[in-house]
């Protein structure tokens, strides 16, 4: 097992902390405890920044782990875990929230971009051209992949399309190791803890926050 990178864990921990803040606010809005103004400006940009951080960390982690040669056993174990969790999330949210169930959320996206990244350990020369092509196609040419991109025709509580977000994973693969070497992070145990346990926290925090928001809404009704 390769040693963990403190800087990467710290940055992932920042993403987890921001995610928890956003989801707590989102759940309070969901129960009518906040008005729709929260979705504007900062609160509109925040989830996009969080996704950027997570997917950049995914690309960086993949490069640090497999950059000198794909460790197939490790890769498929991690992918299998992500795929299983993604299916579990889809199944549970479909039962609880059939109108807005999560069919391709954050974990689905991370599993997919990890799979797509495999080719770019062998086609390193294609990383930058593909990254630039995605950016141009999505943000300048207006091209979208209907069944994979941002215009998938269904409402969901959490929809993170692999296209165009794969460009961020490629960016992490290209720049991540250099950034971490150039700006080594100081020890930050709380953030590193969040980063090391990001997946567990992702799975556990939303039910807790949702329950808290429901309890506050119920308490307000009693008044």
Q: Is residue 82 part of a domain?
A: yes
Per-residue b/e over 88-118, b at no fewer than 16 CB within 10 Å? ebbeebeeeeeeebbbbbbbbbbbbbbeebe
pLDDT of residue 92: 94
pLDDT of residue 30: 85
Residue 56 to residues 6, 37, 102, 165, 180: CA-CA distances in angstroms?
15, 29, 22, 10, 12
**Structure token digits, residue 64:** 């640090």
Structural domain including 177 reads 6-222
Q: Is residue 118 part of a domain?
A: yes
Q: Is residue 60 part of a domain?
A: yes
Q: Is residue 151 part of a domain?
A: yes
Residue 104 to residues 2, 77, 112, 198, 220: CA-CA distances in angstroms?
30, 20, 10, 19, 34
Distance CA 29, CA 18 (A): 17
pLDDT of residue 144: 75
pTM: 0.92
Cβ count near 194 (within 10 Å): 21
Overall number of domains in the chain: 1
Residues of the chain with pLDDT under 50: 1
Q: Is residue 88 part of a domain?
A: yes
Distance CA 28, CA 31 (A): 5
Q: Is residue 174 part of a domain?
A: yes
Q: Is residue 1 part of a domain?
A: no
Q: DSSP string covering 78-95, please? A: HHHHHHHHHHHHHHHHHH
CA atoms within 13 A of residue 22's CA, in its CB half-sphere: 20
pLDDT of residue 147: 52
Q: Is residue 55 part of a domain?
A: yes
């Amino acid at each position: 097992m390769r040693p963990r990178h403190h800087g990467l864990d710290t940055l992932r921990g920042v993403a987890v902390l921001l995610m928890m803040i956003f989801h707590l606010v989102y759940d309070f809005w969901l129960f009518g405890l906040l008005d729709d103004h929260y979705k504007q400006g900062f609160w509109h940009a925040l989830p996009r920044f969080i996704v950027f951080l997570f997917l950049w960390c995914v690309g960086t982690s993949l490069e640090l782990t497999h950059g000198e040669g794909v460790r197939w056993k490790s890769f498929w174990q991690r992918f299998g875990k992500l795929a299983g969790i993604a299916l579990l999330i889809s199944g549970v949210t479909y039962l609880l929230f059939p109108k807005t169930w999560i069919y391709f959320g954050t974990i689905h996206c991370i599993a997919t971009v990890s799979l797509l990244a495999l080719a770019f350990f062998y086609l390193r020369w294609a990383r930058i051209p593909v990254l630039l092509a995605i950016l141009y196609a999505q943000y300048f040419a207006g091209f979208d992949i209907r069944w994979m991109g941002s215009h998938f025709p269904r409402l969901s509580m959490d929809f993170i399309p692999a296209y165009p977000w794969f460009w961020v994973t490629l960016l992490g693969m290209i720049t991540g190791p250099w950034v971490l070497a150039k700006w080594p992070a100081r020890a930050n145990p709380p953030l590193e803890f969040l980063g090391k346990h990001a997946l567990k926290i992702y799975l556990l925090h939303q039910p807790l926050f949702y329950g808290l928001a429901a309890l506050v809404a119920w308490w307000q009704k009693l008044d």
